[in-house]
Structure 1
Amino acid sequence: MINIYEVNETNKMIEEDNFDVRTITLGISLLDCIDSDLDKVNEKIYEKITRLAKNLVKTGDSIGREYGIPIVNKRISVTPIAIVGGAACKTSEDFVSIAKTLDKIALEVGVNFIGGYSALVSKGMTAADELLIRSIPQALKETERVCSSINVGSTKTGINMDAVKLMGQVVKQTAEATKEDDSLGCAKLVVFCNAPDDNPFMAGAFHGVTEADCIINVGVSGPGVVKRALESVRGESFEVLCETIKKTAFKITRVGQLVAKEASKRLNVPFGIIDLSLAPTPAVGDSVADILKEIGLEHPGAPGTTAALAILNDQVKKGGVMASSYVGGLSGAFIPVSEDQGMIDAVNAGALTLEKLEAMTCVCSVGLDMIAIPGDTTPETISGIIADETAIGMINQKTTAVRVIPVIGKGVGEIVEFGGLLGYAPIMPVNQFNCSAFVNRAGRIPAPIHSFKN
């Protein structure tokens, strides 16, 4: 039974510590929408998603009101569109027509993002995969709510360096295509290694082909709650520190479990997973960087940062798995720059560099996230950054990702404003030494020796 102390504690988390359910994401399979006729594909996609998602926003809002829990976003993820459109799409423009259909649906049902304009190419690309990838700049320019993700590597298959090279070009082209909005299109584009099938967070969400026809995944976030809890054990031992994080993560996850079960019941859709990810926002007091400072760092980037982040990530996962049998997705700590005021402060103070962020991604929940870089960064350099991050994921058997934004027309030290949850960011310097001879080698980096487990 829940006692009055726990009710009051949860109320305090919401009122004082920026605790929220970051997203209810409805995952929808579009495998039954496959057709050789493009018009029919678009019709089937429109009919299925609007039918299943018509009450998503209303349900999320009503649960939030009734339980007093802020539910910030309602979103949709779908089967990777490279698979869904493969039989019908003969040109990149054909794929863009599907992106426009998804955007229209998102607007009509009221969700803020729809994810799944995606391709899974960790071992190789089909003709459809390549067409979709090459269509991304146009698709993200001509839509508002569509998010795209490409999985270019995995521990089991290695790294598809042809796809890595192509994605460096596509990221730069997307930046050029959306330069009037400070290259905002790149904020809706993620390059993954070991992408999970059940991630509810954007821009990387898609509905995996092994998933049920329709499921509810919930993403919970509460960095402010963890930070407040750690204030009460300042100066205590690592054992006390870890126990405090773990117990706090348990409480946060239980709230997410409640929301997920209620949404599942009201929408008559099976419950998938809880993603317990400490996802920050630009709001003061809602920062993963502030947790790291509370652990004992002057700024993220100081010596000890990777160790502190490893503690945080591990204890969050340990607390979460005790609170729900179905913890999945990414689950851990996000370290975006533009979405975390403490990270922005660390960059401005000179404490945090791109190289240190890369080191931190060895132990964080995802990877290099929402990092603004100079607009004149070459596609080959972007591919090199993607290759490095993918290698970390492949070798360490974890999810890693790259969401960098080469802001056309701006350079190091300038500020770019994205707005809303995407925040703002100082443009960070990038290593200027050339890696093009490496990137231009064709083929695939083999899977590591520890991938062979059969």
Structure 2
Amino acid sequence: MINLHEVIETNKMIEQENLDVRTITLGINLLDCAGPDLAVVKQKIYDKITRIAKDLVAAGNKIQREYGIPIVNKRIAVTPIALIGAACCKTADDYVSIAEILDKAAEDVGVNFIGGYSAIVSKAMTASDELLIRSIPKALSVTQRVCSCANVGSTRTGIDMNAVKLLGEIILETAKLTKDRDSIGCAKLVVFCNAPDDNPFMAGAFHGISEGDAVINVGVSGPGVVKKALEAARGADFETLCETIKKTAFKITRVGQLVAQEASKLLNIPFGIVDLSLAPTPAVGDSVAEILKEMGLEYAGAPGTTAALALLNDQVKKGGVMASSFVGGLSGAFIPVSEDQGMIDAVEAGALSLEKLEAMTCVCSVGLDMIAIPGDTKATTISGIIADEMAIGMVNQKTTAVRIIPVYGKKVGDRVEFGGLLGHAPVMQVNGFGCDDFINRGGRIPAPIHSFKN
């Protein structure tokens, strides 16, 4: 039971340390909208989303007013659209028309993003999956709120390298079609391994087929709170450091639990999960990289960074799981470059490279996130970066992802402005050696031996 005393205790965190609920995400099952007639399917999709989500924004605003807890985003996640459109979409443009309906529904109910323009292709692509993936560049260029993802690998099935190759090309095409906005379309596209069904964070959210008809998932954020707590533990041993993070994560997660319960009650929709992830913003003091510095590193990327991030991720989970009845999603520490001022500073100081970021993804909760690279990077190079990250997830039985932005017309050292929570980023150096013959082999990388646990 959560009482008002716990909310009052968080006032300082909210007012001084950038604590917020990053998102209330309403998951909606669209399987009953599928059918052979595209026009009918689109109408069913629009009607169902607008009916179930009509009060989502109002509920979030009411909770924010009543408890004084900032709720930054209200979002929707739907069943992967490659499943919904399989019977009615014969061309890529058919899928684009569904993206436009999703965008209209999101606009009409007032949410800022809608996720689920997605395909789950960890073993192989169906014709429908491939059509949707090929439609992504146009879909993201003609919509404002639609987010897309593809799950191309898993520990149980291996990695679909045909999809990996295709997505390298798709990312470049998306960058080109949104070049007038610094290729921002790529910021709305994530490639996953082991994608969870209940992730509330964009751009990778979708409503998995293991979920019910509708569900409320909440993502909290509190890097600034953790950093402030660690300031009181400077010079202390690792045991003290761990206890400080764990206790702070507990308090942060209790706020998410409260918001989830209240939203569930107001909307009469079941509570799903609280995602424990520390999600940074471009605001000064709201940074995962600053937490790593507070632990004793000169910059994120210095020797010891991976160990520090592993410690942080583990203690956040240990503290958070005791604070919520259901924990899920990604849960850990995000390390996006453009959304974290400390990460940006580390890149500009020369302390953080793409290769070091990849090493850090072995112990963080997501992967290579919001990284700007030169616009002339080859598609096969992007596919190679994706393949490396998918292998980390597959072998280590964890969720990993790639959200990479080849910024059209930009080169290493340029700066890109995305705006809002997406922030800004320096364009990072990419290894220039080729991997064309490797990516062009096609087929599937098989699952690792430890996947056979039946």
TM-score class normalised by the smaller sequence: over 0.9
Determine the structure 1 residue equivalent to 2:117. 117
Residue 143 (structure 1) shift: 0.3
User: One-letter code of the match for 2:422?
Assistant: L
1:397 and 2:387 are equivalent in the alignment: no
Q: Which residue of 2 aligns with 1:241?
A: 241
CA distance in 2, matches of 1:243, 1:163: 43
Task: Output the CA distance in 2 between the equivalents of 1:413 and 1:335.
Answer: 20
Shift, 1:6, TM fit: 4.4
Secondary structure (helix, strand or coil) at the match of 1:119 reads strand
Show CA shifts across 1:139-167 (max 9, x none): 00000000000000000000000000000
9 and 139 in structure 1: CA distance in 2 versus 1, 3 angstrom threshold:
same
User: Compared with structure 1, are the counterparts of its residues 7 and 55 closer, same or farther at alpha carbon in structure 2 (3 Å cutoff)?
Assistant: closer
- Whole-angstrom CA distance in 2 between matches of 1:141 and 1:388: 27
Deviations 1:309-347 (A, max 9, x none): 000000001111111121000000000000000000000
SS in 1 for 2:258: helix
Q: Which residue of 1 aligns with 2:353?
A: 353
Q: In the alignment, which residue of structure 2 is the partner of 1:184?
A: 184
Partner SS for 2:199: coil
Letter in 2 for 1:72: V
User: Larger deviation: 43-52 or 8-17?
Assistant: 8-17
- Secondary structure, aligned partner of 1:149: strand
* Aligned position for 1:269: 269
Deviation (angstroms), 1:64: 0.5
Runs of 4+ in 1 over 4 A off after TM superposition: 1-8
Answer yes or no: is 1:341 the counterpart of 2:349: no
Which residue of structure 1 aligns with residue 57 of structure 2? 57
Instruction: Render the CA deviation track for 1:115-152: whole Å, top value 9, x for unaligned.
Output: 00000000000000000000000000000000000000
Structure 2 matches for 1:205-216, cutoff 5 A? Answer: 205-216=205-216
Paired position in structure 2 for 1:160: 160
- The equivalent of 2:328 in structure 1 is 328
Change (3 A) 1:5 1:99: closer
Matched position secondary structure for 1:278:
coil
| TM-score, with length taken from structure 1 | 0.99
1:406-417 matches, within 5 Å, as: 406-417=406-417
Give secondary structure in 2 for the equivalent of 1:226. helix
Deviation of the 1:9 alpha carbon: 2.9
TM-superposed CA distance for 1:3, in Å, is 7.9
Helix, strand or coil: the match of 1:59?
Answer: helix
Q: 2:287 corresponds to which letter in structure 1?
A: S
Matches within 5 A, 1:297-446: 297-446=297-446
Aligned to 2:26: 26
Q: Are the equivalent residues in 1 in contact too, given 2:2–2:258 (CA < 8 A)?
A: no
Paired with 1:34 and 1:93, the residues of 2 have a C-alpha distance of 17
- Deviation of residue 95 (structure 1)? 0.2
- Which residue in 2 is equivalent to 1:256? 256
C-alpha distance in structure 2 between counterparts of 1:123 and 1:6, whole Å: 46
Aligned equivalents of 2:126, 2:328: Cα separation in 1:
29
State the alpha-carbon separation in 2 of the partners of residues 33 and 6 from structure 1.
42
Summarize the Cα distance change of 1:298–1:5 in structure 2 as closer, same or farther, 3 Å threshold.
Answer: farther
RMSD: 0.9
Structure 1 residues 6 and 267: alpha-carbon distance in aligned structure 2, compared to 1, 3 A threshold: closer
What is the count of residue pairs matched by the alignment? Answer: 454
2: CA distance, partners of 1:46 / 1:353: 43
Confirm or deny: 8 A CA contact 2:7 2:67 kept in the other structure.
no
Structure-2 residue corresponding to 1:282: 282
Aligned to 2:87: 87
Structure 1 residue 197 displacement after superposition: 0.2
Encode CA deviations 1:293-319: one digit per residue, 9 max, x unaligned. Answer: 001100000000000000000000111
Provide, for residues 340-396 of structure 1, a one-character-per-residue CA deviation record: whole Å limited to 9, x for no partner. Answer: 000000000000000000000000010000000000000000000000000000000
SS in 2 for 1:87: coil
User: Distance between the aligned counterparts of 1:344 and 1:5, measured in 2?
Assistant: 37
Q: Which letter maps to 1:60?
A: G
User: Is the contact made by 2:299 and 2:351 (CA closer than 8 Å) also made in structure 1?
Assistant: yes
Partners in 2 of 1:229 and 1:273 — Cα distance? 25
Q: Which amino acid aligns with 2:162?
A: D
| Percent of pairs with identical residues | 78
* Unmatched 5+ stretches in structure 2: none
Secondary structure class of the residue paired with 1:141: helix
Shift of the 201–4 alpha-carbon distance from structure 1 to 2, 3 Å rule, reads: closer
Shift of 1:442: 1.4
Query: Counterparts of 2:152 and 2:77 in 1: how far apart (Å)?
Result: 19
What is the distance in 2 between the residues matched to 1:155 and 1:279?
25
1:10 matched residue in structure 2? 10
Partner of 1:128: 128
Normalised to the residue count of structure 2, the TM-score between the two structures is: 0.99
What is the letter of the counterpart of residue 426 of structure 2?
P
1:174 aligned residue: 174
Tell me the equivalent position of 2:71. 71
Match of 2:106 in 1: 106
